[in-house]
Amino acid sequence: MTSGAFVGKRRNKNSPLSYISDMLQIGKTESALNAAIEKRGALFAVLLDPDTSDDTALLKAGSMAAENGADLLLVGGSFMGNFKLPDQVAALKKEVSLPVVLFPGGASQVVPGFDAVLFITLVSGRNPNYLIDEQVRGGVLIRSLGMEAIPTAYELINSGKPTAVEYISNTSPIPADKPKLSMVHSIAAELMGMRYVYLEAGSGAELPVPVEHIAYTRKATQMKIITGGGIREPETAHARVAAGAQIIVTGTLWEKVKDPVLLQEFAASIHVKG
């Protein structure tokens, strides 16, 4: 096996290792997100479900979110079996000027067209498949696509009933009443070099991540905090920004509710710096 296919675009062909230093820089999308966080206080992300046979569903949902205050579009699911996704992402990228970022449930979901990928590691679990195996499989694909990766710790927090992520990953979530357990996982992730941490209640969760989990990670680390799962009201989003979260993700809500005003209310509750 040659390494040629996996090294992405080399910018300086005279230096054999130049591609590594290029790739390890904080990329364009992450820099733009960091700058937007600085400016607005926190960002509003909408998660789009890629598991759809409707060719225009992603485009419609993404455009509506973009027109009504979203800062970032995430695309991902616990399962993903949509071979038309690259075309759908390309169509979405033509239409909206927001970053479109892959949030993968596994390596098989790595396809071209995204601005970046959340390179997640399920640090709250003890399943080696989601700690290293998917990353090894996905990493070579990401590198060969020349795609930007944002190293992100993924922590699953108990939210009432079991969620798809818990079931699929075969891991136990961190107990909801043990925020210090999130904190110690976050510290370890930061020491491993991760720059973002996603505190996740799970898609469609009964209860969102308790604010204490966010506050403890905020106090103990400098990573950017993403949180999502079970957030259905602007007030719930605002409370998590006040606790230290910098990206709020909502997904399931918009599968039933197509309400531009509610999208705008979410954006206003999250953009605490205006």
Ligand X SMILES: O=P(O)(O)OC[C@@H](O)CO
Ligand Y SMILES: CC(C)=CCC/C(C)=C/CC/C(C)=C/CC/C(C)=C/COP(=O)(O)OP(=O)(O)O
Instruction: Provide CB contacts within 8 A for 145, sequence distance 6+.
Output: 8, 110, 112
- Using CB under 6 A as the binding rule, whether residue 78 contacts ligand Y is answered as yes
Site for ligand X in 41-100 (CB under 6 A): 47
Q: How far apart are CA 37 and CA 56, in angstroms?
A: 30
Q: Work out which of 62, 99, 113, 138 binds ligand Y, going by CB under 6 A.
A: 138
Site for ligand Y in 182-241 (CB under 6 A): 203
- Using CB under 6 A as the binding rule, whether residue 167 contacts ligand Y is answered as no
Q: Work out which of 125, 138, 228, 234 binds ligand X, going by CB under 6 A.
A: 228
Q: Work out which of 88, 135, 182, 227 binds ligand Y, going by CB under 6 A.
A: 135
CB-based contact 202:212 (threshold 8 Å): no
* Minimum distance from residue 228 beta carbon to ligand X (Å): 2
Q: How many CB atoms within 10 Å of residue 243?
A: 19
Q: How many CB atoms within 10 Å of residue 70?
A: 24
Burial of 177-203, coded b for 16+ CB within 10 Å and e otherwise, reads ebbebbbebbeebbeeebbbbbbbbbb
- Using CB under 5 A as the binding rule, whether residue 158 contacts Mg ion is answered as no
Nearer to ligand X, 46 or 110 (CB): 46
Q: Work out which of 29, 229, 237, 269 binds ligand X, going by CB under 6 A.
A: 229
Short-list 249, 256, 228, 255, CA closest to 70: 249
- Using CB under 6 A as the binding rule, whether residue 120 contacts ligand Y is answered as yes
Q: Work out which of 203, 221, 227, 236 binds Mg ion, going by CB under 5 A.
A: 203
Nearer to Mg ion, 51 or 133 (CB): 51
- In order, the DSSP letters of 78-129 are SS---TTHHHHHHHHHHH--S-EEE--SSGGG--TT-SEEEEEEETTS--HI
- Using CB under 6 A as the binding rule, whether residue 169 contacts ligand Y is answered as yes
Instruction: Provide CB contacts within 8 A for 84, sequence distance 6+.
Output: 55
Q: C-alpha distances in angstroms, 67 versus 73, 87, 185, 237?
A: 12, 21, 36, 19
* Minimum distance from residue 168 beta carbon to ligand Y (Å): 4
Stretch that binds ligand Y, among 18-26, 63-71, 72-80, 177-185 (CB under 6 A): 72-80
CB-based contact 223:249 (threshold 8 Å): no
Q: Work out which of 44, 61, 76, 243 binds ligand Y, going by CB under 6 A.
A: 76
207 binds, among Mg ion, ligand Y, ligand X, none (CB under 5 to 8 A by kind): none
CB-based contact 66:96 (threshold 8 Å): yes
Nearer to Mg ion, 27 or 204 (CB): 204
Q: Work out which of 110, 197, 223, 226 binds ligand Y, going by CB under 6 A.
A: 110
Contact set with ligand Y (CB under 6 A):
49, 76-79, 103-107, 110, 119-122, 130, 134-135, 138, 154, 164-165, 168-169, 203, 251
Q: Which residues bind ligand X (CB under 6 A)?
A: 47, 200, 203-205, 228-231, 249-253
